[in-house]
Amino acid sequence: MNNALFVGSGVALVTPFDDGGVNERVLRELIEFQLSEGTDAIVVCGSTGEASTMTPAEQEMVVRVAVEAVSGRAPVVAGVGGTDTAVVSQLARNARAVGVNGLLASAPPYNKPGQRGLLAHFRAVLAAGDLPMIVYNVPSRTACNILPETIEELAGDSRVIGVKEASGDISQVAELARRVADRLAIYSGNDDQVLPLMALGGQGVISVLANVAPAAVSRMVRAFLDGDLEAARQIQLGYLPLTQALFQEPNPVPVKAAVRALGFEVGDVRLPLTPVTNETLQQLRDRMQALGLALEVGV
């Protein structure tokens, strides 16, 4: 059996910004909100957290604050991504130094390494961080697909404990599960495919939707794990229109606007992303209200 960092719902947390950089006060508020709503793991400095536009110092600060704010109540996972293996390795060392529970490591974007290059990259990051690692497969962002056989080879290292699968290819997920589900936790990286992936042996989700509906995402995963498939199905399908709106524009543009609509002062996205359009914002608000999510008046 695998040694998962968590089973259930992990949130791919947005990073709150203000004019001075990262807003520590709001970051702590977001974490308290997530834990109070049943989220099982806090994942920071990922794609949704805009790590690609943050300095290494900002990323280290976010991870440190998350570890402090969570205070052992749930695992904290630090995203470590980038094109340069040496820089990513240093991010892993920084995360380890502030006491994070694990790493979420994506394939290097832009470089488009082959499978041998991916193996070498992940092994270098493992050696530097010496922490449990979730491998993140997100070809739409990295232009590089981590094949099931590559993950199976990485699974020979006991520190590789999970996979966040966001390829969108259920056939690939099935092959991955066949090869490694007895050793690695498989998490959905797509909010519209949580139940299909869990039906193949997955143990939860690392979710964008959980930023705005953490209790619902937690209930959905728990219902599935408890065998209440109809309840899980109703949540998956009931939240599908909101999930679609959250990806109407590049992530995290819509979700950050949605979190602001809940009343959290998370600021806007950093360039090269641009603020949400009025059309998408109205769509978000309409779908959130239809689900009974409490919106701040005038936000």
Active site positions, annotated? 136, 164
Among 205, 153, 145, smallest CA distance to 183 is for 153
Which residues, including other chains, have CB under 8 Å from residue 44's CB and lie 6 or more apart? Answer: 13, 15, 62, 63, 66, 76, 77, 78, 79
Q: Rounded CA gap, 188 and 182, in Å? A: 16
Contact of 254 with 245, CB cutoff 8 Å: yes
**Pairing label, strands 17-18, 21-22:** antiparallel
What is the radius of gyration, based on Cα positions, of the chain?
18
Q: Rounded CA gap, 289 and 242, in Å? A: 10
Contact of 170 with 141, CB cutoff 8 Å: no
DSSP 10: E
Q: Rounded CA gap, 188 and 169, in Å? A: 11
Which residues, including other chains, have CB under 8 Å from residue 215's CB and lie 6 or more apart? Answer: 37, 38
- Amino acid at residue number 97: A
